[in-house]
Every structure is written in C-alpha cells, then in structure tokens.
Homo-oligomer: A and B are copies of this chain.
Amino acid sequence: MSAGARAKPHASSKAAVLDAIRAAGTISRVGLATATGFTGPTISALVRRLIEEGLVVETGRAESTGGKRRILLQLNHTARYAVGVHLDHGAMTYVLTDLAGTVVARIVRRGAGAEEPDTVVSRTAEEISRLIESIGVQRGRVLGVGLVSPGPRSSAPGVGLAPPTMRHWEGFPLGEALERATGLPVVLDNDATAAALGEHWSGGFGGATSAAVVHLGTGIGAGLVINGITYRGPNGNAGEFGHICVDMDGPECWCGARGCAEVMAGTAAVVTAVQADAALAEAVGLGTRRRRVSTVADFAAISRAASRGEPGALALLERSARYIAAAARSLANIMDLEVLVLTGPGFAIAGSVYLPVVQQELQRTAFSRAAQPVDVRLSRSAATASAVGAAALVLESELVPLSQAARLPERLDAEPVALPYSLVASEVD
C-alpha cells in the first residue's frame, strides 16, 4: 500500500470475510454466507485461502440443530499484528494489536513538539522496533503501521489546513519516509477519525447507526461513524468539530474563522486563559518559572488544581465544557446522533468535569430527545483511542496478504506467545 492511501473498508471479499469472522468471534461457513451475502461456494473458497494463509482456524463444532453439526471458524489472533501510532505535539502513543484488534503492547514517548519531521520519523521507526521486539513478535508478522495525527493527513498537497502545531509538517512526505525507515507499509489518517474507528472496533458504540467521538487533545476533532462505516468526507475533512461555530462574533481561530469551538474551548484556550491570570497561573503551578512541556500537560495541571478545589481552574474548565456542549448539540442535531463518546487525552484528564455538562445539555436540548436521548459516554480507553484506531486502520485495509517470507503457524496452538496487556513505559508526566 502506498503511503498516504486511505484504508478501504471491505475493499476485497477476503477482507469482508475476515471482518465478519472478527465481529462474530466464532462463526460457521453458513453463518458467514448470511453475514456477508456471498454464496456458499464463494465462502468455501475464501475460507480455504484464509486457512492456508494461517489467518483463520477451525475451532470445533456448533451444537447440533438437527442436521450436521457445523464447523466453527475463528481468527488466528496471533497470525498477524498491526502497529498504531498517534503522533501529537505532546505525546507519541504506540500500540501493537493482534489480528482481532486487541492491544498486546503499548508505549508512550515524548511528543513530536517542534522537532524536525525527519528526526521524528527516525525516532518513531526506532520506537516501533522496540515495541515489536518488547514482546517477541516476529517482524514478518506485522502487517503495517497506522499513523494518525491532528488535522487532515495525506502526502497529497492541498488536502486541508494544518493546525499550528503541525505547520512544519506541511508538504513533508510522512508516509513514504516512515515506510522507508520501517520497511513496513504505512497508512495515514486523522486522529479523531482513528479514535472513532477504534471505538467502533472495541464495541463502544453498541449497535448505533449514527455515532461520533469527540477527541480532545492539542486540538478538538470528531470522528463520525454512520452505519458502522467511518465517514471521512470527500476531502478527509469531515467531523471538524473544533471548527463548529459557537460564537459568530468570537475571537479569530487559527483556521481563519471566528468563534470556533477550538479557539473558545480547546485545551490551549483553557491554558491561555489561566496564564492571563498571574495569580491563578501561580496557584495551578503554571507560573512563569515552570518549564512548558505541552499544552496537554499544562491542561492536566489545571485539571488537577480544579479537582483539589481551586475555583478559578474549575470555572474555566466548566466554561470550556459549556462551549463543547453547545458544539456537541450542533453535531447531534446535524447527524441525528445516537451515541457520542468523549475521548482523547483531554477527556482522559478532565472527563469528570466535561461529561455531566455535555450529558445534561444533550438531554435537555438535543432535537431527537423525544424519540431517543443521545447516549453520551467517556471512552474506556480515552488516552490511547487514536493509537488503537490507527492499528485498526491497518487491519481494516487490504494489507493482507503479507510478503511470502512470513511463515505462519497453521494452528492457534502452534506458537504459544504470552500476550499480556503491557504498559511498557511512559515518558510523559
């Protein structure tokens, strides 16, 4: 797969069958025909290939329903792995998932900050190698790397606006550079869209037909999922939640418009408001003598101060939450949302302040409330959602099959590998 290409869900019949097996856990060939709409002979042929490639295994028989007991199939979870990377200003988050999307290793390293793209790519390649080696997975089994970051990501020019922290990345051929540095296929996407995909894979949307995540990090973005498919829009700019207008005459945003949710209520807006009040800045530990780490780290300091009872810090967070809630209402009323999940480091840090404000606003004012209230939740993996989604991008794409070099076990038990969920290290805060 060339760098910058988008993952195409269900682009091949094989990928569709794999996805149906993943979603079901265990399933018979007859069940697969029903789930995918393919004919019996097509399913038989596809399953034969998937078993030959070691991606799927037979795992016993279903209970008899009168006729022949059907053989059940399941993914060979350890047959393939995917790397997910969330590149952000304040932190680089890496996960390794198995073929089912389960996280088997995770590391967090310092963010990209103002570093040169080339330097970041070299470091990222090293950190990916260390992640893979940390739990003894053969590199040949790694399908590829999903890398996600704020703003639209692509090697194509003119795709959209780069947020301020990513300006020096504009025009940099990120996908190609990372493919060269890692020797692995690379797929790029927006971090909010990836977070939505990750939430979808982990079942966080339930069976909702219209769902979204709002991702609060250095910026604010949303990822939209309609009928189980991520909606990116024709230019990959769908879900620009941070640029929903909440005040027509508000201050100018970096995007050129006025009163955007991000300029009124993003983590940077909260940090700036605290810094504008010297006494408050001192009280929350953001005085002039403190070394600046990242916006998200400063936001975390404000949130800690709020939870230990600092009223100025709490008031600013609540004000931010009211703007986020107003923008969430616009999103809900446009998409007719059933589920809204708050995710990303900002909500991982201060979700207890934001969640009730957004919940109450949508309960009270969402247009669909009479038919069906919007279910507003915090993500169960708010801090790593984008990285998990980045790995899911790889699994969802057509990277299968691998190069012939990769030898794969025929059976689940052929190579027992211990796969604990391991937080290997963290350099952030």
Contacts and interface: CB of A to CB of B under 8 A. Distances in A.
A210 interface: yes
Contact of A236 (B158, B248, B258, B336): B336
A171 B23 CA distance: 40
A118 interface: no
A330 B244 contact: yes
Interface string A242-278: 0111111000000111110000000000000000000
A334 B336 contact: no
A241 B222 CA distance: 18
Interface residues of A, number: 53
* Copies of the protein in its oligomer: 2
A231 B237 CA distance: 18
A247 B244 CA distance: 11
Interface in A381-428: none
Contacts of A364: 256-257
Given A323-B248, A330-B330, A336 B243 contact: no
A77 B312 CA distance: 69
A100 interface: no
B248 A334 contact: no
A236 B371 CA distance: 10
Given A248-B323, A329-B257, A365-B255, A336 B158 contact: no
Contacts of A327: 245, 330
A233 interface: yes
Interface of A: 152, 158-161, 208-210, 222, 224, 226, 231-241, 243-248, 255-259, 322-323, 326-327, 329-331, 333-338, 364-365, 367-368, 370-372
7 contacts: A240-B333, A241-B334, A243-B329, A246-B246, A248-B323, A257-B365, A258-B365
